[in-house]
């Protein structure tokens, strides 16, 4: 789809999810401002509440589940780190695919940078950079290769700094 239509679709989806998230951003080719877009990618930190007998089991809110469940499931479940859904965009009267990636305050920068892409940029520049700098990506977190210690990447800039890669704006992340 054209970027102008993708902007409308992404804004609609973000608007549906935002009240149930602590943080949310549009990623992928929309964020990179590509003229042609295949799907919508969203990175978010869903709001949670403390559940369980002792209040020590974080759960996503009922409203999160209700929002996700209104869209047709393609892949993943609403508790996972990744899910794909079909969403009808009222203003366009289109059904499009949205890929939703959930993050935490610890790995937000890593997930947003990777999901912004491009895929080749994420692999050839970011991933190769963090490996050269002594890190790996494990279960959605940046970890010190020598110890397995999780290294917080709360912002994209943190990931770029740790990977020893010069910061560039999303629109220029292509190879």
Residue 127 sits in the same domain as residue 91: no
Same structural domain, 146 and 90: no
8's tokens: 């409308």
CA distance linking residue 44 with residue 118, whole number of Å: 19
Residues 95, 123 within the same domain: no
**Domain C-terminal end among 87, 102, 117:** 102
Long-range contacts of 82-88 (CB under 8 A, 24+ apart): 87/9, 87/12, 87/13, 87/40
Rounded distance, CA 45 to CA 18, Å?
9
Q: What is the pLDDT of residue 64?
A: 86
158-172 pLDDT, tens digit per residue, is 999 999 999 999 999
CA separation for the pair 50, 41 (Å, rounded)? 28
| Residues 145 and 60 reside in one and the same domain | no
The count of structural domains within the chain is 2
56 or 148, which is more confident?
148
- 95 plus 13 within the same structural domain: yes
DSSP state of 68: H
Q: Are residues 76 and 117 in the same domain?
A: no
Instruction: Indicate whether 44 pLDDT > 80.
Output: yes
Q: Tell me which of 75, 102, 129 is where a domain ends.
A: 102
Boundaries of domain holding 21 = 3-102
> Is 11 found in the same domain as 81?
yes
The reply to whether 86 and 125 lie within a common domain is no
Question: So what's the pLDDT on residue 50?
Answer: 64
Report the chain's terminal Cα–Cα distance, integer Å.
21
The per-residue pLDDT for 88 is 95
Sign of CA dihedral 60, 61, 64, 67: positive
pLDDT of residue 122: 96
Residue range 121-147, pLDDT digits in tens: 999 999 999 999 999 999 999 999 999
Q: What is the mean pLDDT of the chain?
A: 92
Average pLDDT over residues 53-77: 82
Instruction: Compute the average pLDDT of residues 78-95.
Output: 90
**What's the rounded Cα separation, in Å, for the pair 154 and 159?**
8
Q: In this predicted structure, what is the pLDDT of residue 52?
A: 56
- Asked if residue 79 and residue 15 are part of one domain, the reply reads yes
CATH of the domain at 157: 3.30.210.10
Task: Identify which has the larger pLDDT, 48 or 114.
Answer: 114
Residues making up the chain, counted from first to last: 175
Tell whether 24 and 58 lie within a shared domain: yes
Residue 48 clears pLDDT 90, i.e. is over it: no
Q: How confident is the model at residue 54 (pLDDT cuts 50, 70, 90)?
A: low
């Amino acid at each position: 789809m054209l970027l102008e239509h993708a902007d409308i679709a992404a804004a609609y989806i973000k608007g549906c999810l935002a009240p149930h998230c602590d943080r949310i951003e549009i990623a992928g080719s929309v964020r990179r401002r590509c003229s042609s877009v295949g799907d919508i990618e969203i990175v978010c930190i869903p709001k949670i509440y403390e559940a369980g007998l002792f209040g020590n089991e974080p759960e996503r809110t009922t409203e999160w589940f209700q929002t996700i469940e209104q869209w047709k499931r393609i892949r993943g479940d609403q508790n996972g780190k990744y899910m794909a859904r079909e969403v009808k965009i009222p203003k366009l009267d289109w059904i499009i695919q949205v890929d939703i990636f959930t993050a935490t305050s610890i790995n937000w920068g890593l997930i947003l940078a990777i999901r912004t892409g491009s895929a080749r940029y994420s692999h050839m520049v970011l991933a190769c950079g963090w490996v050269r700098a002594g890190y790996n990506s494990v279960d959605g977190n940046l970890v010190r290769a020598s110890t397995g210690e999780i290294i917080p990447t709360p912002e994209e800039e943190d990931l770029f700094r740790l990977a020893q890669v010069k910061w560039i704006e999303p629109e220029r992340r292509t190879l």
